[in-house]
Amino acid sequence: MTGMLSLFVFSACGQNERGKQLYMRHCAQCHGAGLTGGNAQSLVDGFWQYGSEDHYKHRNIKFGIPHVGMPAYKETLSDREISLIVEFMNQYEAEQAKDQPDVPVDLLTLDYQMAMEVVAEGLDIPWAIDFIDKRRFLVTERPGRLRIIQDGKLMDQPVQNTPEVLPEGQGGLMDVALDPEYDQNGWIYLAYSHALKQNGGSERNPAMTRIVRGRIKDHTWTNQQVIYEAPHKTYRTTRHHYGCRIVFDPDRYLYFSIGDRGAKQQAQELDKPNGKIHRIRRDGSIPQDNPFVGRDDALASIFAYGERNAQGLAVHPETADLWEVEHGPMGGDEINVIEAGKNYGWPVITYGINYNGTPITDITQKEGMEQPILYWKPSIAVSGLSFYTGSEFPNWNNDLLVSALRFEEVQLHRVYNHRIMHTETILKNIGRIREAVPGPDGAIYVVANQPGRILKLTRAKKE
């Protein structure tokens, strides 16, 4: 039957005949000869549950998605053959999409019917936002720009004189956070990839995550102070896993994350800054009750260690517990509650595997290492994390908002003590989500990439 359908279904994709043949042989039985679904989901409705980018599609075909019954084809198909299948699917989906309306976004949750509006668009890889007041908020763009949105309009020019970043790989300008006493002192904190300039040569400049604070006056970044800079001997030339998220606890201590920078074993080494959660005062000084203060073999700023690449930190509004989300490898994204001095295991224990399908470790638990509150398998590419507080969605107060890049969604998690009691996807299919945070007006503001824009979620008005 599939052979008869293919005579007319694939006429527009003759330029990739080999990809079509491979799809018909290995994929059509489940996904349908017309890619419209069957035993498995449609591949032409624009809804990619496990990642819409080509490398995600390639990885899902190669290694499978075991929990939904999709087999792995790594022993059956070469990388080139998988690429041809992906190319064919993309060609056919594009052809079908010409006559289709935009994929609808479902804004109905268990508690609320939501409404969505675009607050700002045309941004270049937006990474984080923070709110000055109900009229104004700041947005970082990873290539290195700090933008201001006022009264729903993106100001034409970025803030001038912001620090120079290394905009390579996953590096660039990352988080922005206002001081808890911003109304009195005006301090704004930035996290970014900071490079050491080499004298000539063609080698890459080594880099590491750096934290600064400054003020904005006349649309210009001024009074900059470096409040955290890692020892220069620990800088690395890799271009990924920088972290970084900034939060403050009720005592005004500043916490920030640094990813393992591609050197996974260094997450276990206390004389290295990477793969850690750090705790400092707002002026950069070290609290004397930090767990490793006074040790010659440890950096005094370290609060917890054994993290792979934490891009989400949030403080519980009532308990002040520090919650964290971090990227796993292939599988093994995690939610953790971070406690002083604890070891969170990476890479000694993990629920993920290497991207080439080989194991990282043969154990998932070990005495002296913490277990995650929740882990995802496959990875959702977890990114931002915040606790909802506000009057717009009162049923969600103190619930976690978890963002996902690969799964392109916002998840809501109801927590009790250190347990996840309920999980719901409240937004999906509007692009890669970097973070979702409550604003001072109670709305949820969503930072989306591809296209780069800021979205606002409110309760739908009843007719």
Backbone angles phi, psi at 70, to 5 degrees: -85, 125
Alpha carbon separation from 327 to 28, 157, 194, 243, 260 (Å, rounded)? 32, 33, 21, 9, 11
Instruction: Pull the structure tokens for residue 56.
Output: 């995600």
CA distance 278 to 236: 18
Catalytic-role residue among 26, 31, 194, 241: 241
Instruction: Pull the structure tokens for residue 19.
Output: 């990809």
Contact between 157 and 146 under an 8 Å Cβ cutoff? The reply is no
CB contact set of 104 (below 8 Å; sequence gap of 6+):
none
Contact between 158 and 146 under an 8 Å Cβ cutoff? The reply is yes
Contact between 128 and 176 under an 8 Å Cβ cutoff? The reply is yes
Pairing of strands 333-338, 322-326: antiparallel
Strand (E) positions, 263-391? Answer: 276-280, 302-305, 310-315, 322-326, 333-338, 374-376, 382-387
How many helices (H) and strands (E) the chain has is answered by: 6, 24
CA distance 142 to 127: 6
Pairing of strands 126-131, 246-248: unpaired
* CA trace torsion 317, 323, 324, 330 (10° rounding): -120
In sequence order, the β-bridge partners of residue 140 are: 128, 146
CA distance 415 to 133: 28
Contact between 42 and 49 under an 8 Å Cβ cutoff? The reply is no
| Packing angle, helices 54-63 and 79-97, rounded to 10 | 130
CA distance 271 to 55: 35
CB contact set of 34 (below 8 Å; sequence gap of 6+):
5, 9, 44
Region for 48 from its dihedrals, namely left if φ exceeds 0, alpha if ψ lies in -120 to 50, beta otherwise: beta
Q: Is 241 a catalytic residue?
A: yes
Amino acid (1-letter code) at residue 63: F
Contact between 178 and 131 under an 8 Å Cβ cutoff? The reply is yes
CA distance 123 to 451: 8
Active site residues: 241
